[in-house]
Structures are given as structure tokens and as C-alpha cells.
Structure 1
Amino acid sequence: MDQLSKQQLILLALLVSFVTSLATGIVTVSLMDQAPRGVIQTINRVVERTIEQVSPQEAATGKAVINSAEQLGLVIKNVSASIVKIKDQSKDQIIGLGAIVTGRGVMLTDKALISANGAEAVLADGLNIPISVVQSQINGDIVFVAPRVKITPTPVFKAISLGDSTVLGQSVFSLSGTSTLILGHGLIIEISPSQNLSNSQPTLIRTSIRSLNTLPGSLLFDLEGRAIGLYAPSFSSQDSLVFFPLKGLRTVIPVLR
């Protein structure tokens, strides 16, 4: 033993421990074979009750995770029906996104997307609708648009819900993409004043969502599916998407006659 190195002593100890455990297992199995039936039944009942006490907690945790994922999937499906793609009529290509905010077809999007060349909104069902501006922020980036002509039969406009509450650390998600919608998920990591915005929009919402070719007009949502922000490209980076808050926006949505 004195001639063994420290590593050899450790290996020897592990070998002895393994052999001891193996011998203990063999003896236990042998004793169980020889034990009376009543003793074996008692041991089995103890093991079963132990499993029953532990399993519900683990099952509940797993179920909660599954339900949370399923719920987010349902929220995204519901929200997607209200998202529109903005198409430049002169180029016949998708240049951004927007969202339906009233059942009469009023939509909001980024002001920069609406040009003199004309624009169309592509609904979730693929219907193309020519749109025009009905109201625009003077010192902001939000514009309200609506169908430029009467559509027959009248399309079903599914209005999105607007939210007012934003807190630091809040879980949020965004949707963007041209052909298919891409999910971005993260947290609100900063709610900060911006020197470049008017008093009507005093803050910016910075998130941990990374840019995935995010389009202008993309919206930020809370986990209930309420729209809480409009993508702000000029303030965003590859590692952090920034959004203009939509707080209080429902009070200024135009009403179509």
C-alpha cells in the first residue's frame, strides 16, 4: 500500500466500492427470493406509495410546461389572423407588416411603408386589398390605413387586441417574415426615454429578441396576444430589437363612417 501512488489508491478505493455494491445487490436479491410473501408485498407497497408521492409533482411540472407551450401556440395562431403583409404595388413585393385594429378594416403599420406609388394589404387568407392613409402621426412612425375601395363580399377583419402594460423583465414575442411568419421570443430588457421622439411617445421598449430579418411594421406582443409595440428599425441592432410603445393607441384609432 505504501508503494501505491495517490491515483492508484483512488482507483483501488473505487474498485472496492464497486465490488461491495455488487455483492450487496446479490445478497439483497438472494434474501428477497427467500423472504416470505408478506414481507415482499410490504416492500412493494412502500415503493409504490413513494413513487405515487413523487410522480404527481413531476407530472404537474411537465404538464405546466406543455400547457404553456400549447397556450403560446394558440396565442400565435390567434394573433396571426390579424397580421397583414404590406405590399408595394409598383414593385409587387412584400415590404413590411401591419395589423388590423378594427372590425371595419382599419390597420396600423409603419408610416415609411406607405408611398405615393400605392400599397396593398395582404390578409392572412391571401386576399389583396388596396389601402390608403386615413390618419397619421405627425411626429411618430405609426400610420392608420384602410381599404381604398369597397370590397365585395366584405372581408372578415379580425381586430387585434392592444395592450398598455409593459414592465421590465416581461416575456414578449414578435412575428415577422414575408412568405411565412417567423417567431422571435425574449424579454423586455429596457424601457428608456428617447431623445428623438415627441412627448406623445416618450419611451422605447428594448428587448432581448435577436433580429431575424425583421420587417418594418412588425409588432411586439405580450404572452396574452396583446400588441404592445411597433418595430423601430432605426433604434434596433442585430442582438436587440427595439419597439415604439402602443400604449394609449386605442383612443386615437380612427372610426370609419
Structure 2
Amino acid sequence: MENLTKQQIVLVTLLVSFITSIATGIVTVALMDQVPQGMTQTINRVVERTIEKVVQVPTQSAAVVTKETVVVKEDDLIVSSIEENTPSIVRFSMVGSDGQKTPAAFGIILSKDGLVLADSWQVFSDAHYTVELASGASFPVDRLISYEATQTVLFKIKLPEGSKISLQPVVLADSDKLKLGQTVVYIGGLETNSVGTGLISNLRTKTVTLDASSTEPQVPAPVTDITSNIRVGSADNGVLTNLSAEVIAFKLSGEAGPFLPSNKISSLLAGYMTAQASSTKAR
């Protein structure tokens, strides 16, 4: 070694390193052959899964989340509310002894099986009526029950047996959550849709006595009457909707032209359905 030049020493060092690495590889392969098969599979699976994660990470980190701001105009919401509620509106016609039909009242469909709400001041108890759907189809109706306190009456559309006609009921909002100044849409008309827009100008609520000692959260005072700045004839019927296409009130005829809140309509419908269910069980 003492007689070797610097270049020869470097070459000898590289040769020894090369031989050592080859020997290490041979020993490693020999040891791997002696390892049980199950351990080898486990190591392979770990490696495979690690590789999969390493490959996916760049993809995920490179993903770009874009946020798109959609501007919805009030006009679009008004039009949408009218379009969505039109299939739930019916027009009553009184059928005379000669078969002639006379436009009589405005109504709304409350259930898929054909329950319809109308103003009791606009329909006579001893007359025969048909209702015309938005599609133009006309069907007879049965008078079910009148509610003097709310000036309303329920009818049932008599669809032909086996009919595949699908009735679309209105969606009733929670009228106790209405706010003064809220934008509303009016849909009425004895024969065709007549619409208008405005605001809720007054909300009359029922007086609720608060119990100061109660720990329960106080519920909002129920709305008993709704007033809008939309000008509507005293004898006209129609509905008020919000911009979510939910019905918030039914316009009754009369000098004051009151709007019956949707929660009162919901209560009438629930009461009728409960009575029908009890009657069915009794049979």
C-alpha cells in the first residue's frame, strides 16, 4: 500500500466499495428468501399503499376550488313563484240547469288527492260546481265542509276512476315567521291569472301572555291577519306568496279584504285529515 500512488489508492477504494455492495446485496436476497411469505405480502401491501398515497397527494394539492357568485334578480324570483303556483290554482264554475257554466270563484289545491280551499262567500251551498285546472281540464267537485270562523269551505275534486292526472298542492309557509316589509306576490283572477307585487304592510298578532317564571323559550305570537299594500278588489280571491314560491295567505272577499294566514289553512287541513282518519277507524 505504501508503494501505491494516490490514483491507485482511489481505484482500490472504489473496488472494495463495489465488492462490499455486491456482497451486501447477495446477503440481503438470501435473507429475504428465508422470510415467511405472509410477512413479505404485508411489506408489499404497505409499500403499495404508500405509493398510492404519494401519487394522490400531488393531485389533491393541485386541485383548485372555484367559487362562483350567482346573482338572482328579484324579478326572476317573482316569475318563478307565479309559475310554480299556477298548477295549484283552480277556477270554480257554477253549472246551471241548462248545463251552462258561469265563473264563480278562485281556489287552491291543498292535497294530492284533490282537496280544494275556496271562499265560502263565493260559492253557494245548494249549487253545483266544476273546477278547471291550469291545464284546462275540468272536473266536478263535492262540497265537504264549511268553516264559518275563517269564511272558507273545502271541496274534493272528483277525478275519473283510474285517472292518471297528478294534482299539485300548494306549499304552505309558516305565516308566524313573516316580517314587515317582506316582498310578496299576489296571484288572483276569476278566469285567468292576475298578478301583483308589494310588501307586507301590517301583521296583526294574537296577544300572548308571557310567563316570567318559565324557563321555556317563548314562541312567536301567532299571526291572525296579514295586510299588504297590493291593491285588490274587495270581492276578489287570490293568494299571497313569498319569493320562495310558498303560499303565505289566502285572500278572502269582503270590505276589508282580509288575507287568511297560511298557518290557519294548515290547521284546517290538519283538523279535517284527523277527523277523516278517526272516522275511518270507527268503521
Q: TM-score range by the shorter chain?
A: 0.5 to 0.7
Counterpart in 1 of 2:184?
172
Larger radius of gyration: 2
Residue by residue, what CA displacement relative to the aligned partner does 1:164-196 show, whole Å, maximum 9, x if unpaired? 2322211111111234211111111112369xx
TM-score (norm 1): 0.63
Task: In structure 1, give the amino acid aligned to 2:194.
Answer: I
Deviation at 1:67, TM superposition (A): 3.1
Counterpart in 1 of 2:103?
94
1:162 partnered with 2:182:
no
Deviation at 1:145, TM superposition (A): 0.8
Counterpart in 1 of 2:246?
226
Residue by residue, what CA displacement relative to the aligned partner does 1:3-48 show, whole Å, maximum 9, x if unpaired? xxxxxxxxxxxxxxxxxxxxxxxxxxxxxxxxxxxxxxxxxxxxxx
Distance 1:192 1:250 in 2: 18
Please tell me whether the aligned partners of residues 91 and 132 of structure 2 are also in contact (alpha carbons under 8 angstroms). Answer: yes
Counterpart in 2 of 1:72?
78
Task: In structure 2, give the amino acid aligned to 1:245.
Answer: P
Counterpart in 2 of 1:146?
156
Runs (4+) of structure 1 moved beyond 3 Å? 148-152, 213-217, 254-257
Distance 1:215 1:226 in 2: 23
Please tell me whether the aligned partners of residues 97 and 215 of structure 1 are also in contact (alpha carbons under 8 angstroms). Answer: no
RMSD (CA atoms): 2.7
Structure 2, gaps ≥5 residues long = 1-68, 207-221
Counterpart in 2 of 1:210?
231
Distance 1:89 1:113 in 2: 14
Distance 2:140 2:253 in 1: 25
Relative to structure 1, the CA distance from residue 215 to residue 94 in structure 2 (aligned partners, 3 Å threshold; closer, same or farther) is: farther
> 1:190-205 residue pairs with structure 2 within 5 A?
190-192=202-204, 203-205=224-226
Distance 1:185 1:95 in 2: 24
Distance 1:75 1:129 in 2: 25
Distance 1:117 1:149 in 2: 19
Deviation at 1:232, TM superposition (A): 2.6
Deviation at 1:135, TM superposition (A): 2.7
Please tell me whether the aligned partners of residues 205 and 245 of structure 1 are also in contact (alpha carbons under 8 angstroms). Answer: yes
Distance 1:230 1:217 in 2: 7
Counterpart in 1 of 2:138?
128
1:82 to 84, 88, 91: 88
